[in-house]
C-alpha cells in the first residue's frame, strides 16, 4: 500500500531525550524555542503554542471577547473543528459558499452574508493553499471585522508573499498528519502585542504568574515533549515543502487530460504547500468519486475523502440555535465539491516509482 500520509519524526530523538533527561517535561524552554521558530516561519511577531489546533481556534475567538449573537462567517467545506470551535466559544455561525478553484470561501459570497452582527471573518486555507486574501482582507477591513485564519493545513503557504497566519490571527494545527507535526498541538500567530499577552494568560489557567489570576482561563498549554518533536521539522520546512511541491507537479503532469478528472490548481500569487493533493471526480468520469476511491484502495493506493459532507450536514448540528437557517442547498459549490473531492498521496516520502504507480493506476481505472 502506498499510504496517503507518512509520519516520520526520527530527527526529533535527540531533543526528546534532552527533555526527558531534564526532568521538566511540561511547558518550558523547548516550547519557547518552538514558538520563536514558528514565528519566524509565519512571518509574525508572536507565536503562541497550545495543545491542539481546535484549541487555537477556540482561544483566538475567546480572546476577542465576542458577545452573544455575534457572528463568525466561515466556510461550509472544512474539517469539523472549524465549526466546533466557533460553537464552543459561543458565537453564531454564518456560512458563505466556496470557490471551486481553491476550495476556499468565496469573497463575493462573504460580502452577501455580512450583517451588523458579524464580527469575525474566518477563512479556511484548505489543502495547503490560502484563500483569496487579496479580496478577503480588504473586505474584512471595510466592515470592521477581525480576521481569524484557519491555517491548520497551510503552514508555509503564502499569498503574494505574505504568509498564511499573518493577515490577522493565524490558527495552525500540528496534528500527526499535518506538514509539521508535534503529534498533537497547535499555534496561534499574531502581530498584536496585547492579544498575544492575553492568549498566553488565557492558555495558563488565566495566570500571569503562579496563583496570580487575571481572567477565567484554561489549560491550553503545549508540553516541552511535543515542542521537541516539532522543532527539527520547522528547521527543514523548506525542504519538506519543496518535496511536496515536486510531487504535486509530477502528479499534475501525469494526470492532466484524464477524462472526468479535474486536477488541483496553484492560483496566481499563491504558494501552495500541498497538505493534500485533491482532485475532483466529475459527473462524466468513468467511475464516481466513491468508486474510484474503492478501486484505488483495492489496488494499493492510499487515498482520502476530505470531506464527504458540508460541515453542518450531520444530525448533531441540526436545530442548533448557533447555526441559524443553514441549508445544504444554499451552498451549491461546496455541496458539489464534497461529492467529488478525493485526495491522493503527495507526502515527501513518495518515490518516483510510487508517483508513477499512482498516476498509472488512476488513469487505468478511469479508462484513460
Select from 107, 111, 237 the least CA-distant residue to 172: 237
Q: Are 189 and 38 in contact (CB under 8 A)?
A: yes
pLDDT of residue 368: 77
| Contact criterion met (CB below 8 Å) for 178 and 125 | no
Q: Is residue 3 part of a domain?
A: no
Question: What's the DSSP call for residue 23?
Answer: T
Domain contains 339: yes
Same domain, 146 and 244: no
51 and 95 assigned to the same domain: yes
228 and 243 inside one domain: no
Residues 6+ apart with CB under 8 A from 95: 73, 74, 75, 76, 113, 312, 326, 330, 331
Residues 160, 41 share a domain: yes
Q: How many C-beta atoms lie closer than 10 Å to residue 158's C-beta?
A: 21
Alpha carbon 228 to its chain centroid, in Å, reads 22
Q: What pTM value is reported for the model?
A: 0.97
Residue 325 is predicted with a pLDDT of: 86
- Check residue 193 and give its pLDDT: 98
To the nearest 10 degrees (0 to 180), the angle between helices 29-42 and 13-22 is 140
Task: Please measure the distance between the N-terminal and C-terminal CA atoms of the chain and give it in whole angstroms.
Answer: 22
Residue 95 is assigned to a structural domain of this protein: yes
- Domain assignment present for residue 2? The answer is no
The residue out of 202, 232, 262 marking a domain boundary is 232
pLDDT tens by residue, the chain, 368 residues: 999 999 999 999 999 999 999 999 999 999 999 999 999 999 999 999 999 999 999 999 999 999 999 999 999 999 999 999 999 999 999 999 999 999 999 999 999 999 999 999 999 999 999 999 999 999 999 999 999 999 999 999 999 999 999 999 999 999 999 999 999 999 999 999 999 999 999 999 999 999 999 999 999 999 999 999 999 999 999 999 999 999 999 999 999 999 999 999 999 999 999 999 999 999 999 999 999 999 999 999 999 999 999 999 999 999 999 999 899 999 999 999 999 999 999 999 999 999 999 999 999 999 87
**Cα–Cα distance for residue pair 84/217, rounded to 1 Å:** 19
How many domains are there within the chain? 2
Cα–Cα distance for residue pair 76/123, rounded to 1 Å = 10
Residue 5 belongs to some domain of the structure: no
Q: 224 and 254: one domain?
A: no
CA 76, 199, 118, 317 torsion: positive or negative? Answer: positive
Q: Which of 119, 146, 178, 249 is catalytic?
A: 178
Is residue 242 a contact partner of residue 236, using CB atoms and an 8 Å limit?
no
Strand partners of residue 196? none
Q: For residues 72 and 209, state if they share a domain.
A: yes
CA distances from 308 to 88, 94, 214 (A): 23, 20, 43
Residues 327 and 215 in one domain: no
Residue 271: phi, psi to the nearest 5? -100, 115
Q: Which residues of 243-272 are buried (b: 16+ CB within 10 A; e: fewer)?
A: bbbebbebbbebbeebebbbbbebeeebbb
What is the dihedral sign for C-alpha 61, 67, 73, 77? positive
Active-site residue, 119 included = no
In a domain, 4, yes or no: no
Task: Measure the CA–CA gap between 297 and 209, rounded to whole angstroms.
Answer: 53
Q: Measuring CA to CA, which residue among 89, 95, 125, 93 is closest to residue 113?
A: 95
The verdict on 242 and 288 lying in the same domain is yes
CATH of the domain at 187: 3.40.640.10
Cβ proximity of 148 and 85 under 8 Å: no
Distances (CA, A) of 134 to 120, 138, 166, 240, 265: 17, 7, 13, 27, 17
Residue 124 bridge partners (DSSP): 150
Q: Are residues 303 and 188 in the same domain?
A: no
Instruction: Look at residues 188, 213, 232 and tell me which one is the last residue of a structural domain.
Output: 232
C-alpha cell at 170: 493565524
255 within domain boundaries: yes
| CATH code of the domain in which 349 resides | 3.90.1150.10
Q: Which domain holds residue 326?
A: 238-366
- Domain identity same for 165 and 211: yes
Q: Looking at residue 131, what is its pLDDT?
A: 98
Residue 1, domain member (yes or no): no
Domain's final residue, options 211, 232, 253:
232
Task: Indicate whether 77 and 119 sit together in one domain.
Answer: yes
Same domain, 177 and 313: no
CB atoms within 10 A of CB 67: 9
In eight-state DSSP terms, residue 180 is S
Amino acid at each position: 500500500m502506498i499510504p496517503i500520509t507518512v509520519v516520520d519524526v526520527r530527527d526529533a530523538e535527540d531533543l526528546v531525550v534532552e527533555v526527558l533527561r531534564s526532568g521538566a517535561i511540561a511547558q518550558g524552554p523547548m516550547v519557547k524555542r518552538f514558538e520563536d521558530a514558528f514565528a519566524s516561519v509565519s512571518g509574525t511577531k508572536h507565536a503562541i503554542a497550545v495543545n491542539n489546533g481546535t484549541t487555537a481556534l477556540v482561544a483566538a475567538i475567546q480572546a476577542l471577547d465576542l458577545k452573544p449573537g455575534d457572528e463568525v462567517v466561515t466556510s461550509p467545506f472544512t474539517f469539523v473543528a472549524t465549526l466546533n470551535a466557533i460553537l464552543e466559544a459561543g458565537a453564531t455561525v454564518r456560512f458563505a459558499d466556496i470557490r471551486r478553484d481553491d476550495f476556499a470561501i468565496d469573497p463575493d459570497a462573504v460580502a452577501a452574508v455580512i450583517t451588523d452582527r458579524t464580527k469575525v471573518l474566518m477563512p479556511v486555507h484548505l489543502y495547503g493553499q490560502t484563500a483569496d486574501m487579496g479580496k478577503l482582507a480588504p473586505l474584512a477591513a471595510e466592515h470592521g471585522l477581525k480576521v481569524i485564519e484557519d491555517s491548520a493545513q497551510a503552514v508555509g503557504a503564502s499569498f503574494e508573499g505574505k504568509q498564511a497566519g499573518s493577515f490577522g490571527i493565524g490558527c495552525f494545527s500540528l496534528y500527526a498528519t499535518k506538514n509539521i507535526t508535534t503529534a498533537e498541538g497547535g499555534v496561534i500567530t499574531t502581530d498584536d502585542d496585547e492579544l498575544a499577552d492575553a492568549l498566553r494568560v488565557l492558555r495558563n489557567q488565566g495566570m500571569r504568574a503562579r496563583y496570580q489570576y487575571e481572567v477565567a482561563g484554561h489549560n491550553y498549554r503545549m508540553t516541552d515533549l511535543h515542542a521537541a518533536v516539532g522543532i527539527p521539522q520547522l528547521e527543514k520546512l523548506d525542504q519538506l515543502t519543496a518535496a511536496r511541491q515536486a510531487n504535486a507537479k509530477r502528479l499534475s503532469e501525469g494526470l492532466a487530460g484524464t477524462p472526468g478528472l479535474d486536477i488541483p490548481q496553484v492560483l496566481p500569487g499563491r504558494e501552495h504547500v500541498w497538505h493534500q493533493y485533491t482532485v475532483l471526480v466529475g459527473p462524466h468520469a468513468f467511475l464516481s468519486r466513491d468508486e474510484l476511491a474503492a478501486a484505488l484502495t483495492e489496488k494499493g493506493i492510499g487515498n482520502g475523502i476530505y470531506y464527504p459532507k458540508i460541515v453542518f450536514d450531520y444530525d448533531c448540528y441540526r436545530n442548533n440555535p448557533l447555526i441559524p437557517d443553514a441549508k445544504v442547498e444554499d451552498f451549491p459549490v461546496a455541496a458539489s465539491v464534497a461529492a467529488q473531492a478525493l485526495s491522493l498521496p503527495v507526502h515527501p516520502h513518495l518515490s518516483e516509482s510510487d508517483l508513477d504507480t499512482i498516476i498509472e493506476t488512476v488513469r487505468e481505472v478511469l479508462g484513460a
